[in-house]
Structure 1
Amino acid sequence: MDDVTTSKGNLTLKTALQAGRIMIENGSEVSRVEDTINRIAQNAGFPNSKVYVTITGIMMSISDRGEAQIEPISTRTLDLEKIAQVNDLSRKFAAEAIDLEAFSDQLDYLEHHSAYFPVWVQALSAALVSGTLEVVFRANPPDFWITCIIGMVGWLVYFGINQLVKVRFLSEFLGSVAIGLLAILAVKYQFGHSMDDIIIGSVMPLVPGVPLTNAVRDILAGDLVSGIARGVEALMSAIAIGSGIAMMLQIL
């Protein structure tokens, strides 16, 4: 392999692995990541690439190269906008609107300059989700506003703990503790009518819906290792949420 091909191969590996890592870290299912990585390699001129993806790491080799590279994945969150942006860059690369170097540079920029909504917008969204789902699930409009407030406070506790302590599932547990405590007090002091309705609505922003959905999709696609791992991860989050609520119901 000449120096030009070797250099292009190294850049292809870097770009494809980085794109896959960003997607996994932000909540993409494994089948989409594999498809994106294979398309990047194919469009870069390496049609016989081999890739193995799990939620904790990606292994990849490209045509005519014996060695493989591994990209570890240590953090996982949820940012569907990042996934959409990586897919958009992949499509532009396939359409030759950008070259491989520009693709790599834009991935670097995306990774280090993420455009998040302000905290107040996220908190307001959590409030609206909580109150709306309380009405949808339980049809008890008098508890709409108090559910909005408690859901927002519970999400802020979850968000704050995530920023301060990097301990998995602790933020879900403490967020649900806050929700359980406030729901009990709200009913006790007659700010709300149904404690169960308020709790059901308020915990909705904390429920791991996307990881659970991706776990099912991975299993159906044949990615059993990643599917089971995602399912266990979602189950642990659900247990943390349920444990926080149960603890407050037992104490108070």
Structure 2
Amino acid sequence: MDEKQREISRLIAHAGQMLLAHGAESTLVGDLTRRLGLACGVDEVEVSMSASSLVVTTVMGGNCITTARRSPDRGINMKVVTDIQHICIMAERKVIDYRLAQDKINQIKVTRYNRWLVLLMIGLSCAAFARLANGDEIICTITFFASSVGMFVRQEIAHRSFNPFLNFAITAFVTTLISSQAVLYQVGNYPFLAMASSVLMLVPGFPLINAVADMLKGYINMGIARFVMASLLTFATSLGIVAAMTLTGTWEWVR
């Protein structure tokens, strides 16, 4: 019985660790870990989360086991979250037991979109923002090029495991440096739109949404931690933009 409880506790902790690391909101992490534990046979599951770790306690037959796991940020990946949801549902329907559930979680692979497809779509999305703001074809083209190059820089820095704040600052600097050429040479109908639209890819929308959702659903500490993280990323982005604008002397468009 003790060995079974230990294995189930490890399973729950592993699932919660992956959910938290890949961007699931706190309510979902708590619900899925409890459901998975109850489906596997424990009597009670309690989960406590912080910004970079979680603590899981299981109760089974009067025995209590507590385990803690670090959960560093691995990047937003909803496929991982969805895969764990499917495993939880299969366990609840008794299609799999806790051993098979552990095997399936171990087999989850973190897949990414093709990097060139990401560059293309980021460039098109930022160019679409410029177009919505009445930018002409030249402005959209400059926005597309600047945001695509910026995203390439961001991918390269992330691949080398640099600090995310440094990543955002450098990416914002490079992107603004390129798009500011439209203001320097007065290209297009509204040159400043290229500078404003090309850095929209750096807005930390998902962390901000999760932060608000966590606070509204009672996970105040998690919400504050995620909000602070998103705010620091925004601050790093602002530093990169300001540095590029200072270097190129393109401050006049904000006055």
Query: Percent identity over the alignment?
Result: 22
Aligned to 1:84: 82
Q: Partners of 2:67 and 2:166 in 1: how far apart?
A: 33
Q: Partners of 1:60 and 1:203 in 2: how far apart?
A: 40
Q: Confirm whether residue 11 of structure 1 aligns to residue 7 of structure 2.
A: yes
Indicate how the Cα distance of structure 1 residues 85 and 200 shifts in structure 2: closer, same or farther if over 3 A, else same.
farther
Q: Partners of 1:100 and 1:123 in 2: how far apart?
A: 40
Q: Once the 2 structures are TM-superposed, how far is the Cα of residue 242 of structure 1 from its aligned partner?
A: 1.1
For 2:76, give the aligned amino acid: L
Q: Partners of 2:241 and 2:188 in 1: how far apart?
A: 17
Aligned to 1:170: 166
Aligned to 2:20: 24
Q: Confirm whether residue 96 of structure 1 aligns to residue 81 of structure 2.
A: no
CA RMSD of aligned residues (A): 1.6
Q: Partners of 1:102 and 1:193 in 2: how far apart?
A: 61
Indicate how the Cα distance of structure 1 residues 192 and 176 shifts in structure 2: closer, same or farther if over 3 A, else same.
farther
Select the residue among 106, 109, 134 that pairs with 1:139: 134
Aligned to 1:244: 240
CA contact (8 A) 1:131 1:148 kept: yes
Q: Confirm whether residue 107 of structure 1 aligns to residue 102 of structure 2.
A: no
CA contact (8 A) 2:6 2:65 kept: no
For 2:88, give the aligned amino acid: S
Q: Once the 2 structures are TM-superposed, how far is the Cα of residue 170 of structure 1 from its aligned partner?
A: 0.6
Instruction: Please show how residues 47-126 of structure 1 align to structure 2 within 5 Å.
Output: 47-63=43-59, 64-110=62-108, 113-126=109-122
For 1:57, give the aligned amino acid: S
Aligned to 1:226: 222
Render the CA deviation track for 1:142-192: whole Å, top value 9, x for unaligned. 222221111111111111111124313111000000111001123434554
Helix, strand or coil at the partner of 2:56: strand
CA contact (8 A) 2:123 2:144 kept: yes
CA contact (8 A) 1:61 1:69 kept: yes
Q: Once the 2 structures are TM-superposed, how far is the Cα of residue 208 of structure 1 from its aligned partner?
A: 0.6
Q: Partners of 1:11 and 1:129 in 2: how far apart?
A: 46
State how many pairs are aligned.
Answer: 245
Q: Partners of 1:192 and 1:173 in 2: how far apart?
A: 27
Q: Partners of 1:65 and 1:199 in 2: how far apart?
A: 60
Output the TM-score relative to the length of structure 2: 0.90
For 2:75, give the aligned amino acid: T
Q: Confirm whether residue 37 of structure 1 aligns to residue 33 of structure 2.
A: yes
Q: Once the 2 structures are TM-superposed, how far is the Cα of residue 251 of structure 1 from its aligned partner?
A: 1.8
Where structure 1 has 5 or more consecutive residues not aligned to the other structure, the ranges are none
CA contact (8 A) 2:52 2:72 kept: yes
Q: Partners of 2:46 and 2:127 in 1: how far apart?
A: 47
Helix, strand or coil at the partner of 1:96: coil
Aligned to 1:179: 175
Q: Partners of 1:196 and 1:27 in 2: how far apart?
A: 34
Q: Partners of 1:135 and 1:246 in 2: how far apart?
A: 24
CA contact (8 A) 2:9 2:65 kept: no
Q: Confirm whether residue 157 of structure 1 aligns to residue 153 of structure 2.
A: yes
Q: Partners of 1:157 and 1:248 in 2: how far apart?
A: 15
CA contact (8 A) 1:93 1:100 kept: yes
Aligned to 2:251: none
Render the CA deviation track for 1:69-104: whole Å, top value 9, x for unaligned. 001112341111211111122112212222221211
Q: Once the 2 structures are TM-superposed, how far is the Cα of residue 202 of structure 1 from its aligned partner?
A: 1.3
Where structure 2 has 5 or more consecutive residues not aligned to the other structure, the ranges are 249-255
Q: Partners of 2:246 and 2:51 in 1: how far apart?
A: 36
Q: Once the 2 structures are TM-superposed, how far is the Cα of residue 193 of structure 1 from its aligned partner?
A: 4.2
For 1:78, give the aligned amino acid: I
